Every structure is written in C-alpha cells, then in structure tokens.
Structure 1
C-alpha cells in the first residue's frame, strides 16, 4: 500500500489491523485559562472537566476509533476514575480485558489549556501506572505478541517498556516508540528492540545534540539528521513538526509529509492521536510514510476539539471534516 498517490479518505476506511499498546491511563483534570500562569499567580479558569487520557490510553483509543483491533495493557487503581477510564476505552472499542486492577489511585494529570492559542501545560501523577511491571508484561506475552504492531511510550516504568519491546521484537513484531515523556539518553536495551522512533523536532534536536533554536525546520538538512539518528540506532523515524507536518525517515529514504491547515482549539492529546493512527496504519499494511500521511489528518481533527480522547474522531467523521 506504499504509494505517492495515497487516497487518504479511502485509507481511513481500511484501518482494521491488530494493535497492541502497553502503558499508561490517566484521568485528565482539565481547565481552560485565558493565558498561562506566572510563578505565584492565581487566575480564574473555566469549568473543571475530568476527561479520559494517558498517552498509551489515548493512542489505543485513537487507533480503535479508526477501526483497528486494539488491546491495551496497563493498570488501573481502585478509585472511581478506574471505572471511568476503562468505560471510555471500551466505548472507543479498545479491548480492556488484560488491564490489571491494583490498590491505590489511578493515574492522573492536571492540565491547563490556554484560550489564546490552544497550547497546554501538563502535570503527571503516575498512580497505578507504576504497577505496570516487567513481570506483568511477561504474564501477557501471548496476547501481546498476537498483534501486528506494538506501541510504547515512556509513562510506564522503564523496565516494563524494555520488556515489552524485547518480547515483541523477538516475535518479529514492529515496535514503535514515542519518546515521550522525553528521555535524552535511551538505554541501549530499549534502542536495540525498537524498530521505529516517533519524536518531535525539539526532542530529536536534543537526542542528537543540536541547537534547536538554530535550526530552520522548514528547510532542515534531513539527510544529515538521518545519518545522526542512524548512529543512535534508529533507521526508521517519524519527526513531527507541528504545523509544518512531518519528516519520515525509512532506511535511506527521507520524505516530507505536509501538515493540514487548521485553527487549533486544544492541542492536548493530538500527538497521541497521531501515534495511534501510525500504529493502525502499520498494522493494516500501510507504509510508514503513508501511515504518517493519514495521521496528519487525524491529528489535525483532534486539535479542533477539546480534550484528548474526547476530541478523537472516527474514520467517517474525519473524512467528512476534511472532505476526503
């Protein structure tokens, strides 16, 4: 399905592959503010909303709403947020049967969203996400490796992320790592088991030791970046560039994918919807570049709504929104 003339509208209706995601689930306590706070300042915000979130949960929900068969592996607590989060995942079509229930609170985030430009600040409290251990991952090895692709981020304990990557890689499954929350020096045992890296331009600059402020990302030396990332162990990479779109590195190939012009309302969870779409695309037989092309529209759609999972669309909704 690798073609330079991809029909994104048709592709959206073909995202039916099997995806596994290992990681985090959070209740997002979200408030809209006129602008971001200064130190020591108090501002009056809008109504508090409790929305489903967590990077891995978002990624799983995004892929499932598009039509992929998604199983999420993780842990929830014994609080009311646990039932809320699992219920929202099931509504999105995610298989939650492997999610553990542990003592204590579920994961939470406190998010402020600027009304001026839709940007956000996020404070993360891990809660039950700390219970996603290497032992838990091993106990679900058979279910995990029955999928076509594995998605990982870094909101779970690193030992569990490494173990999940190892199991999937040894089983011949492509492993896609979203380097977020950002870690500048990824451990070698993780890098050697990751097939594809997803990171934004600022994260990539830090990984390869570049001065981010000195780079013109609209006209970057992508081939030089490809070489530097390969030296770090990553030969397949998607570099997201915000409104500029993305750059897809696939071995010796380097290709730019245009962004989709929108007026953002709230960027919370947009990167996760992008990641979930890439997972769905790869699981459904699309190339890395074509998966990024599809993801550009899905991420743009999410930025036009409020919240993370609450803003995600189905394949039909996204086709209609952009007349695809």
Structure 2
C-alpha cells in the first residue's frame, strides 16, 4: 500500500480540531480478577498471594474509559452476560460518563473475565470471552447510527473478527477514521487492512499482523532496521508500542521515529497499552499531528502504570496536561 492510497482513503474530518471528539469503541468488556504474588506457581504448585482485587476491564471498556477521561464523548458497543459482573461492568462505564446504549446483555451467558497474575511489576493474563464471544456483526449493524456519527472508531481483537470487520466497513462507508489495536495478535489480510487508518501493535503483534515471524529481542541496529522495514509498509499508519521504551512510528517518507518512554515509578503495567490507545485516539480525533499524538499517548501510558488497576490508573485530561508540563506525577509532586 503506497502513500497516495493512504491519503486518498483518509477521511477529511480528522483535519479539524475538535473540542470534544466523538469516539465509538467496539470491543470487549471483562471483569479483571487480579492476584498479586511474589512467586508464580509452577504446574501443580500452590503458593500464597499477597493481595486480590476485582477491576472492571476488557480492552474495549478500558480504551473507552481512557478516551472519556481524556475529554472525548464516548459510545461503547459490546456485550455483557446476565450475571452480576455484567451489571458491575455496565454501571462502571455509566459512572465514567460513557453512553452504553450500544451494549447488549446476552441471556444465559457469563460476562467476559480476565484472570491476571502480577509478579515483579509484570503480568500474565488468561481471558475467558464469555458474552464477548457472542458479539455478532448483526449486533454491530443495529448500532450503525452511532458509528456513522463518530469522529473516530476505535477497536481491538477481543471480539470475533467478523464483528470487527463489520464495524470497520460501516465506518469506511461513512468516512469515519478507524484505529485498530490488533490485540490479541492475529494475522490480517492486506485487503481488509486498507480500511484501517491507524494500527497500534506491540512488537509481537506487529510481526503476526504482517505475517513476519522474525524474532528481534534487542534494540540493535539490525533490530531497528527490521522494525523500520515493517513500519514502513504503512507509513504514518503503524504506531508500534514498546512498553517502557515508548513507541516507534514512521513519517510519510518512511523515516523511523522513536518517541522515548518516560521514567516513572511502576506499580502495575495492566492497562498501560489501553491507556496509550485511548490517548492516541483522542489526540488524533482532535486533529493533532501524529508526532504530538504519540508523545501525549506515551505520557498517558506512563502515568497509568503508577497506580493499580487497568482503569484505576488511567489519567484524566487535567492530570495528563500537568504531567506533560511538569514531568511529575501526582505522587511525586
């Protein structure tokens, strides 16, 4: 795909500054069951954990909350089960000011869950889709009017691929720009990729997304050349997240740019990527340059890891602006 094709398919509305951009999130809602432990058990081993928490999560819901806290008007489209977790998930989004008219309750099905184990500031996650697996293209079509009125459509891959594609084609039909966070990792066919304006994979997801399985574990010149070649397949459209190291992206002429990470005290990395995606979606919907949008997103992601919980650590607009200005978190100021 060349630069002229990208330019031709880019909706004009992203060129305008928007004081309160309207973002539609199509994606998952999960209840996160979080265990903190000093030792991850081997097979057949039982260990003591230090704490247990439940948090509202799911990549879709997380990114919706991130967008709302950073100043967007957000509509969530997804599915919950007819259990107590489902009601908790719904009420949590409503408390964040998110419109939940696009959320369907699936009778006789449990809500999605994510079992998260935190050890030494890193996490291991097992996701059970539940009602997210019942989220069909038909349900997306029922909420077509929400998508067509949006300034940006934000999606992930924790719901069926056909559902994600259906939402993308509705957005494309109405010239609504699309951001896809390809997580969990999955290969994407080239024809469908042309409908997406921005991709936000990490290194692992980028390789799988483009069908390139070469492993690069370091920031050696050869590794940077490798990632640059992959990013250059879609200039200005792939923003590769690198955790604490920030993000890589390319200019229109394929030059690799590295927006470096920020030094903060890490408490919980869960939800950092979702915060990055929410911040990037809001920044681009506001009409900011890709360079500025990535800088703001790296800062938002850094802020999020200074507190526990995927959504609990997500910054508000005021907190992000203060951090960008002073370089200090609320706990360090």
TM-score tier, shorter chain, comes to 0.7 to 0.9
- Cα distance in 1 for partners of 2:281, 2:273 equals 12
The one of 99, 108, 112 equivalent to 1:107 is 112
Q: TM-score, normalised by structure 2?
A: 0.85
Q: Report if aligned partners of 1:191, 1:234 keep a CA contact under 8 Å in 2.
A: no
Unaligned 5+ runs, structure 1: 1-13
The answer to whether residue 307 in structure 2 is matched with residue 305 in structure 1 is yes
Please report how far the alpha carbon of residue 180 of structure 1 lies from its aligned counterpart in structure 2 after TM superposition: 0.3
Taking structure 1 as reference, are residues 146 and 304 closer, same or farther at Cα in structure 2, changes over 3 Å only?
same
Indicate the structure whose relative CO is greater, using CA pairs within 8 Å and at least 6 residues apart: 1
Instruction: Please state whether the residue corresponding to 1:167 is helix, strand or coil.
Output: helix
Residue equivalent to 1:7? none
Give the number of aligned pairs.
306
Please report how far the alpha carbon of residue 221 of structure 1 lies from its aligned counterpart in structure 2 after TM superposition: 3.7
The answer to whether residue 178 in structure 2 is matched with residue 175 in structure 1 is yes
Between 189-198 and 275-284, the greater mean CA deviation after superposition: 189-198
Please report how far the alpha carbon of residue 310 of structure 1 lies from its aligned counterpart in structure 2 after TM superposition: 1.4
- Cα distance in 2 for partners of 1:69, 1:217 equals 41
Please report how far the alpha carbon of residue 212 of structure 1 lies from its aligned counterpart in structure 2 after TM superposition: 2.5
Q: TM-score, normalised by structure 1?
A: 0.88
Please report how far the alpha carbon of residue 316 of structure 1 lies from its aligned counterpart in structure 2 after TM superposition: 1.4
Please report how far the alpha carbon of residue 250 of structure 1 lies from its aligned counterpart in structure 2 after TM superposition: 4.3
Taking structure 1 as reference, are residues 147 and 218 closer, same or farther at Cα in structure 2, changes over 3 Å only?
farther
Post-superposition Cα deviations, 1:175-224, rounded to whole Å, max 9, x if no partner, equal 111110011x21345313212111112322444525324542688445x6
Q: Report if aligned partners of 1:33, 1:45 keep a CA contact under 8 Å in 2.
A: yes
- Where does 1:273-292 land on structure 2 (aligned, <5 Å)? 273-292=275-294
- Where does 1:136-285 land on structure 2 (aligned, <5 Å)? 136-183=139-186, 185-206=187-208, 207=210, 209=212, 211-213=214-216, 215-216=218-219, 220-222=223-225, 225-229=227-231, 231=233, 236-253=237-254, 254-285=256-287
- Cα distance in 1 for partners of 2:128, 2:213 equals 30
Taking structure 1 as reference, are residues 180 and 217 closer, same or farther at Cα in structure 2, changes over 3 Å only?
farther
- Cα distance in 2 for partners of 1:265, 1:170 equals 42
Taking structure 1 as reference, are residues 71 and 289 closer, same or farther at Cα in structure 2, changes over 3 Å only?
same
The answer to whether residue 316 in structure 2 is matched with residue 314 in structure 1 is yes
Q: Report if aligned partners of 1:218, 1:244 keep a CA contact under 8 Å in 2.
A: no
- Where does 1:54-93 land on structure 2 (aligned, <5 Å)? 54-93=58-97
Post-superposition Cα deviations, 1:71-126, rounded to whole Å, max 9, x if no partner, equal 11001111111111111112222111111111121111111111x2x110110011
Residue equivalent to 2:331? none
- Where does 1:1-80 land on structure 2 (aligned, <5 Å)? 16-80=20-84
RMSD: 2.1
Taking structure 1 as reference, are residues 250 and 57 closer, same or farther at Cα in structure 2, changes over 3 Å only?
farther
Taking structure 1 as reference, are residues 98 and 244 closer, same or farther at Cα in structure 2, changes over 3 Å only?
same
Q: Report if aligned partners of 2:235, 2:250 keep a CA contact under 8 Å in 1.
A: no
Taking structure 1 as reference, are residues 234 and 249 closer, same or farther at Cα in structure 2, changes over 3 Å only?
closer
Post-superposition Cα deviations, 1:141-165, rounded to whole Å, max 9, x if no partner, equal 1111211111111000111001111
Taking structure 1 as reference, are residues 320 and 251 closer, same or farther at Cα in structure 2, changes over 3 Å only?
closer
Post-superposition Cα deviations, 1:280-314, rounded to whole Å, max 9, x if no partner, equal 11111112221111011110111111110111121
Between 94-103 and 271-280, the greater mean CA deviation after superposition: 94-103
Please report how far the alpha carbon of residue 167 of structure 1 lies from its aligned counterpart in structure 2 after TM superposition: 1.1
Q: Report if aligned partners of 2:185, 2:204 keep a CA contact under 8 Å in 1.
A: no
Instruction: Please state whether the residue corresponding to 2:102 is helix, strand or coil.
Output: coil
- Cα distance in 2 for partners of 1:193, 1:289 equals 22
Taking structure 1 as reference, are residues 252 and 315 closer, same or farther at Cα in structure 2, changes over 3 Å only?
same
